[in-house]
Structures are given as structure tokens and as C-alpha cells.
Amino acid sequence: MLQPDHLKDIILTVRGEKVILALDLAKLFGVETRVFNQAVKRNIDRFPKDFVFQLTKSEFEELITNCDRFETQKHTSVLPYAFTEHGALQAANVLNSPRAVEMSIYVVRAFVAMRRMTVDLKALADKVAELDKKYGRHDEIIHLISQILFAEKSLPPAREFTKPEKKKIGFEPDKEKGKTSHISSRERIEKKS
């Protein structure tokens, strides 16, 4: 059974709109593309510009370049029509065959699924932008702090510390005899008192 997920490959974005080309709709509805296009032209008043539009030559060439499945259309002189969600549903009504009605349900579901995906991606993009804004500010603050710290290293110290006089431990020259003698810390303390 055909699922809306299978249709996502035939839904394209052209001029910022999600569309299905006439040749894909014709296959879905089980008719030849020529017959499908004739039915649409006979009922053109049911298809306003926001339901259907014809691709330009450059749009069609870009489509052929980017999508391998359109390689067989490379040498056609007829530019295809692109149907929006509403246009695809209207095309099913124009054909009025059981297959077209059945497939139109799947087409609508596929468009709805694509719309949900777009909304989900937009919400995700908004969340990423919010996180970037939040943590981007943290990066600025850390950078500012590091600049301040590096700047302080080049400044002279705020005050000079005086080193306390160290008490000598070990050998002390005997001034009277001109010799060196070993005295302990305890002896020196007793000697000074």
C-alpha cells in the first residue's frame, strides 16, 4: 500500500512552494501525462495560479540537472506544470476516477507530513538560534575576562613585598678564631638570648 512517506520523493520545492509535477501526478492517478494535461486544460478555470503553474525553461533545466529521475525528460519541448497541494487535489476532482480520488488522499497526507516536517525544522532552527544567542554571549564574556587577565599580567604589581630576614641554619663562621663551626638552631637561639 502506498504511504505518504513514499510520496516525499516526488514533492519538490519550486519558487518556494511544495509542488508535484504533472508527470508524477499522472502516474499516481494512473493516466498518461498527455491525458492528464488535457483534462487540466479543459478545466483551467478550476486551477488558479496558486494551484498550478508552468515551469520556466531554466527551472526545468535545473530540475533535470538535480534530479536523475527527470533525465528522460531532457529532450522534451513541453515545459511541465507544477501543482501545489490544492492543485493536486483539484486535479483528482477533475479526473474523477476511483484511482485519482484514492491517490489524492495520499497526496494530501504527504503534503501535510511535509508541512509538519517544515514546522519541526523551523522549531529546531529557532532552538539552535536561541542556544547560539545564549552561549554566544558566554563566549563574549569569557573572551573579555581573558583579555582583562592578560592585561593585568603586564601591569606592575600593586605593592612590593619585603622579604623577612631568614634565620641562618647550619655553619656559622667563628669570627674570633677565623674558623667555621657547626651550630644547631637551638644553640643559636640560646646564644642570642
What confidence tens digit (pLDDT) does each residue in 34-59 have? Answer: 888 898 899 898 888 999 999 999 89
- Whether the per-residue pLDDT at 178 is higher than 80: the answer is no
The rounded percent of the chain whose pLDDT value lies above 90 is: 2
In a domain, 46, yes or no: yes
Residue 143's alpha-carbon distances to 25, 129, 130, 146, in angstroms, are 57, 20, 20, 5
Contact 39, 95 (CB under 8 A): yes
- Whether the per-residue pLDDT at 76 is higher than 70: the answer is yes
CA angle 180, 186, 187 (to 5 degrees): 45
In a domain, 115, yes or no: yes
Question: In the structure grid, which three cell numbers stand for residue 62, read together?
Answer: 535545473
In a domain, 146, yes or no: no
The whole-model pTM stands at 0.53
Exposed/middle/buried for residue 91 (C-beta within 10 Å: 0-12, 13-18, 19+): buried
In a domain, 140, yes or no: no
DSSP 166: P
Most confident of 55-64, 99-108, 115-124, 171-180: 55-64
Query: Domain of 116?
Result: 4-124
In a domain, 180, yes or no: no
What is the pLDDT at residue 53?
92
**Between residues 22 and 155, the one the model is more confident about:** 22
In a domain, 66, yes or no: yes
**What does the pLDDT average to over 156-179?**
62
The identity of residue 69, as a single letter, is R
Contact 25, 36 (CB under 8 A): yes
What is the pLDDT at residue 193?
56
In a domain, 108, yes or no: yes
Count: domains in the chain: 1
Long-range contacts from 33-42, C-beta under 8 angstroms, 24+ separation: 36/91, 36/95, 37/81, 39/91, 39/94, 39/95, 40/81, 40/91, 40/94, 42/94
Alpha carbons within 13 A on the beta-carbon side of 27? 7
* 115-136 per-position pLDDT tens digit: 777 777 777 777 877 777 777 6
Q: Are strands 81-83 and 170-174 parallel, antiparallel or unpaired?
A: unpaired
The sign of the torsion formed by the CA atoms of 110, 100, 54, 87 equals negative
